[in-house]
Structures are given as structure tokens and as C-alpha cells.
Amino acid sequence: MFDSLSDRLQGVFKTLRGQTRLTESTVEAALREIRLAMLEADVNFKVVKAFVDRVRDRAMGQEVMKSLTPAQQVVKIVREEMIALFGDTEGGLKPAARSPRVILLLGLQGSGKTTTAAKLARWLTKQGRHPILVSTDVRRPAAIQQLNVLAQKASIRACDPAGELDPVKRASAAMTEAANTGFDVVIVDTAGRLHIDDELMVELQAIKDAVQPTDQLFVADAMTGQDAIKSAGEFNHRVGVTGVVLSKLDGDARGGAALSVVSVVGVPIAFVGSGERIEDLEPFHPDRVVSRILGMGDVLSLIEKAEAAIDVEQAERLEQKIRLDDFTLEDFREQLRTIRKMGPLESLIGMIPGMGSMKALADHKPDEKQLTRIDAIISSMTAEERRKQDIINGSRRKRIARGSGTSVEEVNRLLKQFVQMRKMLKSIGGMGGGKKGRRKAMGMLHAMEHGRRN
């Protein structure tokens, strides 16, 4: 998402930076490009117009045109105005005193409510909360079962009173269970419709009256673009919406919906869903998304991802090993697997500053297949070889290459780089533990990933 918008805007900035002095006509030309780029990304046209007008007002100002770095000033203005489009509020859930917190999920059919319910429960668990899920979707056969299955996968309790087919009673049962058993968040999944209809609205209102939600999150399928915005507006009008969850941002959504929703509906984006896995939900951070669009990288998200995937104990064991110079190919393989748990490498690389443009990276894109090969090579070694790589002589190398379906050159390269990496790791190993140490270690592993290709 946002890829083409990002490319185009970065192109505009590049042209601007090429100018030593900005004139009104160069700024006007840039604004025209920005306008087109945003319209093409499916941003609501009224939002685009207001945006461009605001940027123009500020960019044509005396201080900007006369400043020593007018182009940078314009980039700064675009950045600030874009953050303002997102409402300039951090995503996630606002603190609430009430317990249990009750989250009602709303949205059209297939928008991702049920999936989001489970993802949200998982996210809350990570925040130390104890959520309970309940489905009130009695209309679609198997909808209740769908939530139960997802809940089970995520080890979350789903309240499912046997034979109860009244949506309000199902929601109330979850409230009672939460009160009796100490769950501090109740997540209520609701039925969807292809279009907004009165029957559904009456049902949602009844559920709302019964559970008195703290949050009413509208789940919008980002792929449907402006339609998602329109229905968010209607739900807001009829039942009330306190925040939006944009789902399916991993698809080929152009991003316009995300950039329009706050201006059009007036509620902030709380979370974004970026995949079908239960982990694929994150609080929305406007400044980071804007930085990503404008090509400034998204280091914070990257760090968070890395920290979520690394289990602390494992990281400490690793640090210890590095300090004792006892880091083996076995550990290396384990680390590679950890990196892969963080998600596709391409998406991680995209977050590194200066690497925003994937196209430029096309010919040295780190390649998942290559990682599989490295894993295969290490797995073809004996346990002893993995512990003491020095014993891997010529004939062993041949055997390993054959066993892993690779070549002796590849085995050689891997071993050479492993030795280099050990050296690098050792030199940072003495820097002490804690978060900083872990981050450093991750950074080194990434460096290794890059080194492999050189």
C-alpha cells in the first residue's frame, strides 16, 4: 500500500530539491503533481483539495520562499499536513477506567470483523490484559464457529452459550462471564451485511444498549477504498463509531481510504490489519506511516517487530554465548529462523530508512529462498560440525553441498561469512546486555544478511 503514492511524492521532492531557488511556478507545478498523486491513490477529492490548499498557503509564505532551504521547508509542510490528515492522534486504545472494557466491532460483510476480533484479543493479551471474545453473528451459519476456531488458535477464551441464538443474550452472557471470572476486556463480534440495512442497525443498537461499549470500532476493508469511508460515515451516523480499524492493508489498496477517513468521518484510525495471521494487527501511528510514504523509513516499527519476535530468554542466552565466544552455526540457524518469524524480509527492508524504494532494491533484494538455502546447508551438517565449524574440511563441504542441494561455493561462502559475523558479534558482545544489546545483536544479524549478498 502507498507504494505508488510514495514513489510519486518522492519524485516531486527530488525535483524540488534540484532547484536552488523556488519560485511560485515551481511550487505550483509540484502541487499539481502532489494533487494528481493523491487522487490516483484514491484519496477523497475534497480531502485532496483542502490538503493542497493548505500546503499552498503555507509554502508560498514569505519565510519559506526566502529561506535557505525552501525545498526542505516544502517537504516539512507536506509532512505536517499529511500527519494532520490522519488526525495527529496515536492509534491503539485510549485509556479507560471502566472494567471490563467492552469493544464492539462493526462493519460490512467480509470487512474483517471476526478476524480483527481475534487479532485484537491477541494484541490485548500482549498488553497484559485478559480479553474474552463473543460472537453475536447468529445469521451466518458457521460464523460463531469461525470465531471459536480463531480464539482457540490464539488461546483466547470465547464465550459460546450452548444453543443461544439471540445476539443480545449472547453478548450479555459474555458480560456476565467476564464479571464472574475476571476478564477485563469483552470483545463483541457482530454480524455483517452487504449493505447497511435497518434490521442490522436495530440489532446493533440493541447489543449496544445491553453491553454499553467503551469502544465502537468500525472495521473497514481498505481494498474497497472510498466505499469503506462512506459506510464508516453511515455506521457512525446510525450507531456511533469511536475508531476505525483498516483491514487488508497488505492487499493492493492504494491507501486513499486511510488518508481520507479521518477528514471524512471524523474518527481516528485505531488499528491497521495487514495480513491474515493473528499477529497482523498494529496500532496506527500517523507519523510513522507518513514517514514511510515520504520515504523516511519506519525504524520504530522495525524495532518493535524485532522485539516482538525475539524471545527475551533466547536473546539473553544468545548474548551470553556471544560473550563467551561460543556462538555456533546452530545458534546462527536459530537466529535466522527468528528473523524469518518477523515476517517477509521485503517488508522489513522497506522500513529501513533510505530503502523505502523497493524498486531500487530489486536486484539485491534479500531473498527468502536464499535463507531457505542457508538453513538447508546448516541443517545438512552434523551436530559436531555445527558446533565446531573448523572441522569442516573439503570432503565434508562436498557432502554438505550434496545433502543440501547447494554447491560447494555456497557452503564456502556461508562458512566464511559466518566466521566474519562471529568476529563482529564478538566485538559488540562486551557491550553489555539489556534492550540495547539485543537491538545491536539484531542489527548485526541484519548486517550479516546484507553481507551475504556482497
Ligand X SMILES: Nc1nc2c(ncn2[C@@H]2O[C@H](COP(=O)(O)OP(=O)(O)OP(=O)(O)O)[C@@H](O)[C@H]2O)c(=O)[nH]1
Sites for ligand X among residues 235-274 (CB under 6 A): 247-248, 250-251, 273-274
Residue whose CB is nearest to Mg ion in the complex, by number: 114
Which string of DSSP letters, residue by residue, matches 22-59? Answer: --HHHHHHHHHHHHHHHHHTT--HHHHHHHHHHHHHHH
- Which residue number, 156 or 400, has a Cβ lying nearer to ligand X? 156
As a whole number of angstroms, the distance between CA 359 and CA 356 comes to: 9
Please tell me whether residue 111 binds Mg ion under the rule CB under 5 A. no
Residue 446 contact among ligand X, Mg ion, none, beta carbon within 5 to 8 Å by kind: none
Please tell me whether residue 114 binds Mg ion under the rule CB under 5 A. yes
Task: Give the E-state strand segments of 279-435 in sequence order.
Answer: 281-283
Residue 215: strand, helix, or coil:
strand
Distance in angstroms between the alpha carbons of the first and the last residue of the chain: 30
Taking CB under 6 A as the binding criterion, the range among 73-81, 112-120, 176-184, 356-364 that sits at the site for ligand X is 112-120
As a whole number of angstroms, the distance between CA 346 and CA 365 comes to: 7
Cβ atoms 400, 392 nearer than 8 A: yes
- Which residue number, 275 or 366, has a Cβ lying nearer to ligand X? 275
One symbol per residue from 49 to 88: x for binding ligand X (CB under 6 A), - otherwise; what is it?
Answer: ----------------------------------------
List of residues 6+ apart from 229 with CB closer than 8 A: 44, 220, 257, 260, 261, 264, 265
What cell numbers appear for 348 in the block?
522489513
* Cα 161–Cα 166–Cα 167 angle in degrees, nearest 5: 90
Residue 438 contact among ligand X, Mg ion, none, beta carbon within 5 to 8 Å by kind: none
* Cα 240–Cα 242–Cα 248 angle in degrees, nearest 5: 105
From 167, 225, 268, 275, residue interacting with ligand X (rule: CB under 6 A): 275
One symbol per residue from 117 to 146: x for binding ligand X (CB under 6 A), - otherwise; what is it?
Answer: --------------------x--x--x---
CB of 113 to Mg ion, least distance (A): 5
Residue 432 contact among ligand X, Mg ion, none, beta carbon within 5 to 8 Å by kind: none
As a whole number of angstroms, the distance between CA 120 and CA 268 comes to: 17
Taking CB under 5 A as the binding criterion, the range among 1-9, 113-121, 294-302, 377-385 that sits at the site for Mg ion is 113-121
Sites for ligand X among residues 143-172 (CB under 6 A): 143
CB of 172 to ligand X, least distance (A): 20
From 280, 282, 385, 449, residue interacting with ligand X (rule: CB under 6 A): 280
- Which residue number, 5 or 191, has a Cβ lying nearer to ligand X? 191
Short-list 228, 295, 233, 298, CA closest to 256: 228
What cell numbers appear for 451 in the block?
553481507
Cβ atoms 247, 209 nearer than 8 A: no
Residues that bind Mg ion (CB under 5 A): 113-114
Residues that bind ligand X (CB under 6 A): 107, 109-115, 137, 140, 143, 192, 247-248, 250-251, 273-276, 280
